[in-house]
């Protein structure tokens, strides 16, 4: 028996002396995210969206027999540590805090680090942002509510070819999601009949893209496909694209989430016309999105706005609430995951489903263009690829199948 298994068993035994009513009506969710450091925006967006969800749906729900179940969020900051620290946090949340679910995980390495803990303790892990395709293969308790990079990129490559683009240069950040973006854009674009005339990878922390974009300018492609993790690096890339003259040269710019609304306030009109493919567009008028936006503004001020991480957190809570309503506060991790498989949710982003075989999200992917509307820069949907599954898992079936 592993150390975690022994500790979990001991904790469960010690709790048997507590009256059932004292423990059965409270379920803790361990939220692991970056609340400090360069990715701190994710922790904030997760936390605010969860608070908005509970404000509208209550912190207490009814179980299968009508019994009240109170949902409590326990947070841990992954911003100052790497995967090893995240694994330690996950273990402490399970053993010491007795959480029934783990959630959050803004970065792929952080989500991957929780796999061993999930497998040993049989605790469902609700992934709200991490995007590397292979993540859900690491544990049968992983359920993804965000997206995968190939899921976004494949529809974009097909759309680009239909728009008359034939030569594309790719520039991606040098980490796992960047590799997914590079390979799936190239694969899908070539299948359409297009040509990738150049490809470079930039360091994850890169902020000076002038040298890389000079190579793109010299190659004279029809378009540049970029992939940056968001935040400061995405802002620096988009600014360099204009400053180095690529837009003036007629080289179209395509990406995925680099133009999210939370970043657009840092740009001027040079960003207008940038094309991205993403599962969430902040300007959509679906009732769920309107409710999310209004509640965030009510609770956190007019400057608070949703992004894809907000949608992942909102939908993650909805999925957990559905599992608790169906199975109650004391079900096993396997029982909760079984409820989640095949669930259909009307999300702020649009219709979504949890693939019953892969536990990955199936969702619309929207082709968006940055425009100025009502005095503000915003993403506007111009096309939709409906209910897209992760293509990586289609191309890479589990061994033995």
Q: What pLDDT shows up at residue 112?
A: 96
Taking alpha carbons only, the member of 149, 152, 154, 143 closest to residue 355 is 143
Cβ-based neighbours of 60, under 8 Å, separated by 6 or more: 68, 69, 70, 71
Q: Is the pLDDT of residue 20 over 70?
A: no
Give the Cα separation of 343 and 330 in Å (integer): 20
Q: Answer for the pair 341, 358: CB distance below 8 angstroms, yes or no.
A: no
In total, the chain counts a number of residues equal to 401
Q: What pLDDT shows up at residue 2?
A: 57
Q: What pLDDT shows up at residue 280?
A: 97
Q: Domains in the chain, start-ordered, CATH in brackets?
A: 3-147+285-359 (3.40.50.2300), 150-278+365-395 (3.40.50.2300)
The per-residue pLDDT for range 345-366, each reduced to its tens digit, is 999 999 999 999 999 999 999 9
Phi first, then psi, for residue 254 (nearest 5°) are: -130, 150
The per-residue pLDDT for range 26-83, each reduced to its tens digit, is 999 999 999 998 788 899 999 999 999 999 999 999 999 999 999 999 999 998 789 9
Across residues 313-321, what is the average pLDDT? 98
Phi first, then psi, for residue 172 (nearest 5°) are: -130, 155
The per-residue pLDDT for range 93-111, each reduced to its tens digit, is 999 999 999 999 998 899 9
What is the strand order of the sheet 26-33 is part of?
Answer: 60-62, 68-77, 26-33, 101-104, 125-127, 142-144
Taking alpha carbons only, the member of 390, 113, 134, 142 closest to residue 279 is 390
- Quick one: CA torsion of 325, 331, 335, 339, rounded to 10 degrees? 10
Give the Cα separation of 349 and 204 in Å (integer): 28
- Indicate the SS3 state at residue 68: strand
The secondary structure of 273-285 as a DSSP string is T-EEEES--TT--
Give the Cα separation of 366 and 147 in Å (integer): 12
The per-residue pLDDT for range 369-389, each reduced to its tens digit, is 999 998 999 999 999 999 999
- Indicate the SS3 state at residue 64: coil
Give alpha helix (H) positions in 58-162: 83-95, 108-113, 115-121, 149-162
pLDDT > 90 in the chain, percent: 80
Q: What pLDDT shows up at residue 232?
A: 78
pLDDT > 70 in the chain, percent: 93
């Amino acid at each position: 028996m592993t150390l975690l298994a022994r500790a979990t068993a001991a904790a469960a035994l010690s709790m048997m002396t507590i009256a059932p009513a004292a423990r059965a009506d409270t379920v803790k969710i361990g939220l692991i995210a970056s609340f400090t450091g360069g990715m701190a925006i994710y922790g904030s967006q997760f936390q605010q969206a969860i608070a908005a969800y509970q404000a509208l749906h209550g912190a207490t729900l009814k179980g299968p027999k009508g019994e009240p179940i109170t949902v409590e969020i326990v947070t841990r900051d992954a911003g100052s540590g790497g995967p090893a620290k995240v694994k330690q946090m996950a273990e402490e949340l399970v053993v010491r805090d007795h959480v029934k679910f783990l959630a959050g995980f803004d970065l792929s390495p952080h989500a991957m680090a929780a796999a061993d803990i999930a497998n040993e303790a049989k605790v469902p892990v609700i992934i709200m942002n991490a995007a590397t395709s292979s993540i859900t293969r690491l544990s049968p308790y992983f359920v993804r509510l965000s997206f995968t990079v190939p899921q976004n990129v494949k529809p974009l490559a097909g759309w680009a070819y239909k728009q008359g683009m034939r030569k594309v240069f790719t520039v991606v950040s040098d980490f796992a999601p960047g590799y997914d973006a590079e390979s799936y854009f190239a694969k899908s674009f070539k299948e359409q009949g297009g040509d990738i005339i150049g490809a470079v990878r930039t360091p994850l922390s890169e902020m000076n893209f002038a040298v890389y974009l000079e190579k793109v300018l010299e190659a004279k492609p029809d378009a540049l496909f970029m992939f940056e993790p968001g935040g400061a690096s995405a802002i620096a890339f988009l600014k360099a694209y204009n400053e180095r003259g690529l837009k003036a040269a007629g080289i179209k710019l395509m990406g995925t989430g680099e133009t999210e609304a939370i970043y657009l306030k840092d740009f001027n009109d040079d960003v207008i016309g940038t094309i991205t493919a993403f599962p969430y567009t902040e300007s959509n008028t679906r009732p769920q999105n309107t409710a999310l936006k209004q509640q965030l503004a009510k609770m956190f001020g007019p400057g608070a706005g949703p992004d894809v991480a907000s949608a992942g957190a909102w939908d993650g809570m909805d999925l957990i609430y559905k599992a608790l309503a169906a199975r109650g506060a004391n079900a096993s991790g396997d029982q909760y995951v079984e409820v989640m498989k095949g669930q259909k949710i009307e999300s702020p982003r649009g219709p979504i489903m949890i693939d019953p075989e892969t536990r990955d999200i199936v969702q619309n992917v929207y082709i968006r263009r940055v425009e100025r509307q009502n005095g503000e820069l915003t993403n506007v949907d111009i096309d939709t690829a409906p209910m897209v599954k992760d293509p990586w898992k289609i191309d890479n079936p589990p061994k033995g199948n």
